Amino acid sequence: MARLQLLMNARLFLRDPQETELGRKIVRESIKMIDRLGIEEFTFKKLAKEIESTEASIYRYFENKHKLLIYLISWYWNWLEYRIDFSTHNLADPEEKLKIAIGIVAGKKTSDNLFPDIDEIALNRIVIAESDKTYHTKQVDEDNSEGLFRGFKALCKKIAGFVKEIDSSYEYPHALVSTMLEAAHQQIFFAQHLPSLTELKKSREDTYDQNVKFLTHMVIGVLNNNSKAHA
């Protein structure tokens, strides 16, 4: 089976986990554990026990669990950008590209056989539950200066490019797209835990389809209204 590697910011790790079997095992099992326990209860000590290794071996790859969490979520953003590139590279219509991008970001995730060491479905649940914790920290500016959020910003820039292709007069393409990216995960979280904040229903099979429909309506609606205002 082919195995692809996504290009990751070297500041996220001390040693690239994609390059060794132990590194891949650390990533694979940490996704399972964080999905099950949450980042607060997750520790390198527990992970070491799970993979039958030592805490010291994990610290050779990641400085701390915060960096590991950023690594996992950055990998997720890079994966979404890869999927958008693959799905839109031969398309000319920017609105079609934008709708596909929204579908990839907000839709239900399935396993990607090109990345056998990653459980993308579990990672999606981690992003929904934990992604805000990567930058709602006191060291956010320092982390940003090291480029640790480059994956999220690159994804935002990619989709904002589609917005500008559709309507170059729209003043807030990055603000619109970053709002959409955040809402894509917040709406699922609300449906699961704070249902009075959304019309999405966790009891329905098509919760993710509802999510895509809502966000497409929001983004395309904003652009259509802007075009009418400038007509």
pLDDT of residue 204: 76
Mean pLDDT of all residues in the chain? 96
The whole-angstrom distance between residue 185's C-alpha and the CA centroid of its chain comes to 9
Q: Which residues contact 157 (CB under 8 A, 6 or more apart)?
A: 174
Domain boundaries, the chain: 73-229
In this predicted model, what pLDDT tens digit does every residue of 139-159 receive, in sequence order?
Answer: 999 999 999 999 999 999 999
Tokens of 93: 């219509």
pLDDT > 70: percent of the chain:
99
Q: What is the pLDDT of residues 38-85, one digit of tens each?
A: 999 999 999 999 999 999 999 999 999 999 999 999 999 999 999 999
Radius of gyration of the chain (CA): 19
Mind giving me the DSSP string for 56-89? HHHHTT-SSHHHHHHHHHHHHHHHHHHHHHHHHT
Considering the entire predicted model, what is its pTM? 0.95
Side-chain half-sphere CA neighbours of 35 within 13 A: 16
Q: For residue 120, count other CB atoms closer than 10 A to its CB.
A: 19
pLDDT tens per residue, range 3-36: 689 999 999 999 999 999 999 999 999 999 999 9
pLDDT bin (cut points 50, 70, 90) of residue 2 is low
Residue 196 confidence (pLDDT) above 90: yes
Rounded CA-CA distance 159/176 in Å is 10
Residues 6+ apart with CB under 8 A from 199: 210, 214
CA torsion, ordered 187, 189, 192, 196, to nearest 10 deg: -50
Rounded Cα–Cα distance for residues 172 and 122 (Å): 32
Angle ∠(27,129,207) on CA atoms, nearest 5: 110
How far, in Å, CA of 214 to CA of 165, rounded? 22
